[in-house]
Amino acid sequence: MIKRISNILSNLKWTVAGGVLLAASLIMMLADIAFPVDPAWLTIMICGTPIVYSAVTKLILKRSISSSLLISIAMVASIAIGELFAAGEVAFIMAIGAILEDKTVERAKKGIKQLISLAPKHGRKITDGEEQLIPVEMIARGDIVRVVPGEAVPVDGEIVSGNTSVDQSIITGESLPVDKAAGDQVFCGTINRFGAIDIRATKVGKDSSLAKLIRLVRQAQDNKAPMQRTVDRWAAWLVPTALVIAIITLLVTKDITRAVTVLVVFCPCALALATPTSIMAAIGQAAKHGVIIKSGDALERMGKADVVAFDKTGTLTYGNLAVSDVVSFNAALSGDDVLSLAASAESFSEHPLGKAIVAHAKEQRLTLRHVEDFEMIPGKGVAAKVDGRKIVCGSSDYLEETGVVVGDEVYVQLGRIRGQGKAAIVIADGTACVGLVALSDTVREFAKDMVSELKAIDTGTVLLTGDHEHTAKYIAGQLGITDVYAGLLPEQKVGRIEQLEGAGKKICMIGDGVNDAPALKTAYVGVAMGGMGSDIAVEAADVALMGDDISKIPYLKRLSNATIKLIKFNITLAMLINFIAIILSTLALLNPLTGALVHNIGAVLVVLNAALLYDRKYI
């Protein structure tokens, strides 16, 4: 019951009411207006009750000395000598500080629920040739499960029949669907894009890839403790020191008012505001630039990070496929002719590579030709009659299966293109290869400058991606990143981060996809691409870049460093004001009332200093 009342009185509305009542008490006192009950009593009850409850519970249950204990002692002592305003003032200032600090450490935890919602609920079990839709919990290891186009794979398994392309971005972060055939592995939660496939379940339930992903995020989230309140860090020595000085003052001067004044001015009111006001100002400034910082703890950790780890697709790149090369193997055909043939043949395709080729041809204002007898072989390619000519587009293996002669020149070009981390579509006219079209992801503008700027402020960079090694190294080479780890599943990204942090590094992980969520939670600080990134990645991260502008990363680090310096300055200022006030109190130059007002001056100075942070330039 007491805890419930304390929680109610701790909210912003009741605290504001306490402030209004305290202001009324001050006005009445200055105007010498008599009233049956001093409004400061109500302020003490509203703002003081949660403080006393916190002090008692921490002292009895946790056996810890907190700042609330010193405030409680000061309140009781002030009330005992009739200084109600002083008691109400320290209670109100500390209540405001607690609210501000709580606001800076709030962290959303909805990501787990969204991640769980991605898990398939049903699967198509095949028994004696009969298909039965059953709950995924009833699928056992070794069962044959059919997955039709557009469905999520319900379990981890091995394809036993069928060909398709699978969107594995949820698990690996790969930008392209991966062609799959009999013998290949598929993961739970990935999306079957085209052909129907039958798979043999190898990992089900809690052992599946998606279940492991959920478990990793949960574990990482549980390992992140909330930031300890700044004033409580000082409480272990602050409370005994205040009591000793107050007792010595009482014994030497025989004046209880001086002793009580020492307790009042010793209360860490300005100290309580030093951290939250600076952090809120920094968070407000970052928000102006499209950077959402979820907590003061995240801001502090960002300033201490010394290595930035990047995901590739959607982070350093846009995650959008674009035609990068068009090569002709026929002297009679220009690059535009090859592109026109490929785009025409792919015009009915739903495959991302085919769509990208068609889109590029339209951008080049090329005319698409008449198409007949379109046929798509999932995971391999397409075939069609274009103006009466049989055009085949797909992998070199698929073309050879259809009787096309793939010469050495084609393989040389394919090797070059694959070495650059690009995907390639080979085009055949009849039985002869006539050209190929290469596609690649596009590196984000300013990404290279951002990496250089991080290096200039002594911050290392590393690439952690689920993409193929060739692709990863090609992109990293363009940007100047030398440390590259490719082909990583979510748990391997987590393991790599733990390995780096075990070596003494403080890692800032930047990612955008569901597969990045465990790494974002595990890292010392996580930053998500908030514009195009998944909701789960944004929820898992400590910071979100709402405009997907990674050039803001150096700005974020500079802002974090400046905020930490300002907090230290404000704490020093608060302690200096307290030190001067203690001396004045022992000399009877301050009483509990004027001592409380000195607290207000110190608090105002700290708040004003923090407010200046909001308009400073760090871009």
Q: In what order do the strands lie in the sheet with 130-135?
A: 130-135, 122-127, 144-147, 197-203, 156-161, 185-186
| CATH 3.30.930.10 matches 289-317+443-556 | no
The per-residue pLDDT for range 239-286, each reduced to its tens digit, is 778 788 888 888 888 888 888 888 777 776 666 677 777 877 787 777
Residues 217/193, Cβ–Cβ less than 8 Å: no
Lowest mean pLDDT among 111-115, 152-156, 266-270, 518-522: 111-115
* Residues comprising the chain, all counted: 619
Q: What pLDDT was estimated at residue 106?
A: 45
Residues 530/538, Cβ–Cβ less than 8 Å: yes
Q: What pLDDT was estimated at residue 458?
A: 87
Lowest mean pLDDT among 67-71, 226-230, 410-414: 226-230
Reported as a pLDDT band with limits 50, 70 and 90, residue 107 is: very low
pLDDT above 90 for 548: no
d(CA 321, CA 107): 35
Contacts of 499 by beta carbon, 8 Å cutoff, 6+ apart: none
The per-residue pLDDT for range 498-528, each reduced to its tens digit, is 999 999 999 999 987 667 888 888 899 988 8
Q: What pLDDT was estimated at residue 110?
A: 44
Q: What pLDDT was estimated at residue 234?
A: 65
DSSP string over 312-369: IIIIIEEEEEEEEEEEES-TT--HHHHHHHHHHHTTT--SHHHHHHHHHHHHTTPPPP
Q: Directed axis angle between helix 230-253 and helix 67-80, to 10°?
A: 40
Q: What pLDDT was estimated at residue 233?
A: 64
Residue 40 backbone phi and psi in degrees, to 5: -60, -30
**Closest Cα to residue 257, out of 614, 11, 609, 595?**
595
Mean pLDDT value across the chain: 81
Give ∠ CA 117-529-303 in degrees, rounded to 5: 120
The per-residue pLDDT for range 6-17, each reduced to its tens digit, is 777 777 788 888
Query: How confident is the model over 468-478, as a mean pLDDT?
Result: 83
Residues acting as catalytic residues: 311
What CATH number does domain 319-442 carry, 3.30.1300.10, 3.40.1110.10, 1.10.357.10, 3.90.79.10?
A: 3.40.1110.10
Q: What pLDDT was estimated at residue 102?
A: 61
Residues 341/203, Cβ–Cβ less than 8 Å: no
Residues 160/199, Cβ–Cβ less than 8 Å: yes
Q: What pLDDT was estimated at residue 223?
A: 47
Q: What pLDDT was estimated at residue 228?
A: 44
The owner of tokens 């509305």 is: 13
- Give the 3-state DSSP-derived string for 155-191, with helices as H, strands as E and coil as C: CEEEEEECCEEEECCCCCCCCCCEEECCCCEECCCCE
The per-residue pLDDT for range 430-446, each reduced to its tens digit, is 889 999 999 888 888 88
Task: Identify the top-confidence range among 91-100, 448-457, 587-596.
Answer: 448-457
Residue 284, class by beta-carbon neighbours within 10 Å (0-12 exposed, 13-18 middle, 19+ buried)? middle
Q: What pLDDT was estimated at residue 575?
A: 80
Other CB atoms within 10 A of residue 430 CB: 11
358/32: higher pLDDT: 358
Hey, what CATH class is 121-221 in?
mainly beta
Query: How confident is the model over 12-36, as a mean pLDDT?
Result: 80
Eight-state DSSP code of residue 152: B
**Closest Cα to residue 592, out of 23, 86, 77, 248?**
86
**Predicted model pTM:** 0.61
Residues of the chain with CATH 3.40.50.1000: 289-317+443-556
pLDDT above 90 for 426: yes
Q: Where are the beta strands (DSSP E) in 524-574?
A: 525-529, 543-545
User: Sign of torsion, CA 525 529 530 534?
Assistant: negative
Reported as a pLDDT band with limits 50, 70 and 90, residue 113 is: low
d(CA 382, CA 391): 8
Residues of the chain with CATH 2.70.150.10: 121-221
Instruction: Determine what percent of the chain is predicted with pLDDT higher than 90.
Output: 16
The per-residue pLDDT for range 388-409, each reduced to its tens digit, is 899 999 988 889 988 888 888 9
pLDDT above 60 for 619: no
Structure token digits, residue 42:
């109500």
Instruction: Determine what percent of the chain is predicted with pLDDT higher than 70.
Output: 85
d(CA 141, CA 51): 56
Distance in Å from the first CA to the final CA of the chain: 50
pLDDT above 60 for 451: yes
221/613: higher pLDDT: 613
Query: How confident is the model over 463-484, as a mean pLDDT?
Result: 86
Residues of the chain with CATH 3.40.1110.10: 319-442
Query: How confident is the model over 30-39, as a mean pLDDT?
Result: 78
